[in-house]
């Protein structure tokens, strides 16, 4: 399940501009700044495969990365970027929704959730939207290395609260993995999980 080679293929503004082949792919989705690009870099053990930034809204297009010449990881723009204009936000949702609903080669969405903060409304809404549309997903909790000692809850407590809030919507709870792009936590588990999903 290891990654030997990653190659940036293209950035697309619309679902229909995405690469046209039969290779399976996984889309990385989550709030702006949740750590999508960092996770991709951690998975492939390279600093700058996907561009990261402290400023939210860095990734604006659908970016395809080809792994081991056999499957794709797709970096998507973050949602809930407050500084984007209303018009830009609407565009974002229609083009990303188009991608989810029409991409036949999509194996699963990796929905990234920041474990260093309490459950966020927008993440719950996104979870419910994917669930209603029967799009397979795996929860990838990010920033599990972050400890807020004085105020706030620990990552594992935030994760438990999140799971509790979505529980009633699922007969079978989606798979979930705790990760950190800083310590490498969850990296091997996630790679193994992706290889199992590809081989179904």
37 or 138: CB nearest Mg ion: 37
Do strands 137-142 and 175-178 pair parallel, antiparallel, or not at all (unpaired)? Answer: parallel
Residue 188's φ and ψ, nearest 5 degrees, are -65, -40
Does position 59 interact with ligand GTP (CB under 6 A)? The reply is yes
Does position 182 interact with ligand GTP (CB under 6 A)? The reply is yes
State in angstroms the smallest separation of the CB of 35 from Mg ion: 8
Does position 119 interact with ligand GTP (CB under 6 A)? The reply is no
Does position 36 interact with ligand GTP (CB under 6 A)? The reply is yes
State in angstroms the smallest separation of the CB of 93 from ligand GTP: 14
Provide DSSP, 105-144: TEEEEEEEEETTS---HHHHHHHHHHHHTT--EEEEEE-T
Does position 154 interact with ligand GTP (CB under 6 A)? The reply is no
State in angstroms the smallest separation of the CB of 27 from ligand GTP: 13
Single out the residue of 33, 59, 179, 181 in contact with Mg ion (rule: CB under 5 A): 59
Does position 63 interact with ligand GTP (CB under 6 A)? The reply is no
State in angstroms the smallest separation of the CB of 150 from ligand GTP: 17
In angstroms, the CA 38 to CA 165 distance is: 27
Tell me which of Mg ion, ligand GTP, none is bound by residue 145, counting a contact when its beta carbon lies within the kind-specific cut-off of 5 to 8 angstroms.
ligand GTP
Which ranges in the chain belong to alpha helices (H)? 36-44, 86-102, 121-132, 155-166, 187-198
User: 57: alpha, beta or left, given left = phi > 0 and alpha = psi -120 to 50?
Assistant: left
In angstroms, the CA 173 to CA 164 distance is: 10
State in angstroms the smallest separation of the CB of 153 from ligand GTP: 16
In angstroms, the CA 143 to CA 181 distance is: 7
Interface residues with ligand GTP (CB under 6 A) are: 30, 32-38, 52-54, 56-59, 78, 142-143, 145-146, 180-182
Interface residues with Mg ion (CB under 5 A) are: 36-37, 58-59
């Amino acid at each position: 399940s290891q990654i030997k080679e990653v190659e940036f293929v293209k950035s697309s503004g619309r679902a229909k501009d995405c690469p046209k082949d039969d290779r399976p792919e996984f889309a990385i989705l989550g709030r702006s700044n949740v750590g999508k690009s960092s996770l991709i870099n951690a998975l492939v053990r390279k600093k700058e495969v996907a561009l990261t930034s402290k400023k939210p809204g860095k990734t604006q297009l659908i970016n395809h990365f080809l792994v081991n010449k056999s499957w794709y990881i797709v970096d998507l723009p973050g949602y809930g970027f407050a500084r984007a204009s209303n018009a830009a936000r609407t565009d974002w949702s229609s083009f990303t929704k188009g991608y989810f609903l029409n991409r036949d080669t999509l194996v699963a969405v990796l929905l990234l959730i920041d474990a260093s903060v309490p459950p966020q409304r927008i993440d719950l809404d996104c979870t419910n939207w994917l669930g209603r549309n029967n799009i397979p997903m795996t929860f990838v909790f990010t920033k599990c290395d972050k400890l807020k000692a004085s105020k706030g809850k620990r990552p594992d407590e935030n994760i438990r609260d999140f799971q509790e809030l979505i529980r009633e919507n699922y007969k079978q709870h989606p798979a979930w993995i705790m990760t950190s792009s800083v310590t490498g936590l969850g990296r091997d588990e996630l790679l193994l999980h992706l290889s199992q999903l590809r081989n179904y």
